[in-house]
A and B are shown apart, each in its own frame.
Chain A
């Protein structure tokens, strides 16, 4: 195979688009050909540089996109005649007459749930079928089905309202949607003086699988770095978190907070034994030197 042909294959090689035989041919050629070997190094450099230049959309942007889409879909659904009657906005069609009656019932229901004392409204919407549990055919050709029903509701109110706060706290634990968790931390951070909020943030900081959520929780906890449980979480995160961004923020916070020196020295020395990130190591070294402590425990 000529060098030109090999160089074409080198473009596809890193992407796993070559057959086993093609890869073997390329490997054998490149080992013996300095020019193609240089070309392979250039492709590798190109890939690394392109990787560095990649932009990851922020969770805030994702969350904003989802919210806008939800609104627009709701508008389209309301306009669509093909929607189930309880979602139709057109009250003049004959089919919507029962819906109008239902809507009146719903208004009464919402009215009954409206709590003027806290200004929070809970709005029910149509039930949705989730999880069919049981199906039983009968002799007359009918089928008996047992299913769970989920009711979607809307809650509007201030973060100070207990119900709103509880829902937001529950959202910080949502297993499926990191954007929802980021949003809930964002809304709750103004109420960080509440112990239940701080506990939720500490849990998020210690165990949320998403780096963005952990960073958000860390940011919210900054004014409380002197609190015992927050401090414990910070020291744990500094040693164990997989994300260097989280560890970087954590060491900055720990070093800038007036902590008990002996406690901080112990943590930093423990960290120095395993930390690979040069910035974090440098911060640790500087802090330890300032405390006249040895760099590591022996």
Chain B
């Protein structure tokens, strides 16, 4: 069944069709959420909230845009809300406390065992931690655009659509994000 047929079937209450739609996109949704929020618990919340919103509002989907654009719009809004709340609640540290159930990024990313040179490992760890810190200091919007362009491979136009803005505005966000991260590399670059 193609995607449009799945959507129509899900709109008529076919739970299997809805499950098939979810499974087409849920790995990407979870990836976006976990990379943006760096917390499995929060990523899980975003996943639930996003797909429940899709489920409740699927009747209103009129094929004015593509399904992934609509879905990512929902996901990005929820993620932005989480990031903004977090910004208000506390500063978002690059390396979070593992006791709170959040990722310590340096531990979460497996070491490349092929690279056994301690000096190179140290250097790459230092670079990663700088980039991590820089990403955590980006504004929610900049962070979102960088995530969607760099990790999800979405076109700037699609990112603009998802964020309810223009391609140009998304491009400017990407410029600013890149500049900030470039600066964070300091002497290494």
Contact = CB atoms under 8 A, between A and B. Distances in A.
A38 B189 CA distance: 8
7 contacts: A42-B189, A52-B124, A68-B48, A73-B15, A73-B18, A248-B113, A279-B114
Given A62-B27, A65-B47, A279-B114, A54 B131 contact: no
A21 interface: no
A172 to B, nearest CB: 18
Nearest to A248: B113
Nearest to B184: A46
Interface string B27-44: 100110011001010011
Contacts of B103: 55
Interface of A: 8, 11-12, 15, 17, 38, 41-43, 45-47, 49-50, 52-58, 61-62, 64-66, 68-70, 72-73, 76-77, 82-84, 128, 130, 150, 152, 176-177, 244-245, 248, 276-279, 282
A56 B31 contact: yes
B96 to A, nearest CB: 12
A73 B150 contact: no
Given A11-B178, A43-B182, A45-B189, A55 B105 contact: yes
Given A55-B108, A66-B26, A245-B110, 13 more contacts: A17-B171, A45-B185, A45-B188, A53-B135, A55-B105, A65-B30, A65-B44, A73-B55, A76-B55, A84-B13, A152-B16, A176-B23, A177-B23
A93 B19 CA distance: 28
Given A54-B151, A77-B15, A46 B182 contact: yes
B39 to A, nearest CB: 10
Contacts of A47: 150
Mostly helix, strand, loop or mixed at chain B's interface? helix
A127 B124 CA distance: 55
Given A69-B22, A177-B23, A53 B131 contact: yes
B31 A57 contact: yes
Interface of B: 13-16, 18-19, 22-23, 26-27, 30-31, 34-35, 38, 40, 43-44, 47-48, 51-52, 55-56, 103, 105, 108-110, 113-116, 124, 127-128, 130-132, 135, 146, 149-151, 155-156, 171, 174-175, 178, 181-182, 185, 188-189
A65 B48 contact: yes
B109 A46 contact: no
B186 to A, nearest CB: 10
Given A55-B34, A177-B23, A244 B182 contact: no
Contact of A277 (B22, B30, B110, B114): B114
A251 to B, nearest CB: 11
Contact of A53 (B31, B115, B132): B132
A-B residue pairs, 6 tightest by C-beta? A42-B189, A279-B113, A57-B30, A65-B47, A49-B127, A11-B178
Contacts of A130: 16
Contacts of A84: 13
Contacts of B26: 62, 65-66
B31 A50 contact: no
Contacts of B127: 45, 49, 52
A279 B116 CA distance: 7
Nearest to A283: B113
B32 to A, nearest CB: 10
A76 B15 CA distance: 12
Contacts of A46: 131, 178, 181-182, 185, 189
B112 to A, nearest CB: 8
A55 B47 CA distance: 16
Contacts of B188: 45
A45 B15 CA distance: 46
A17 B47 contact: no
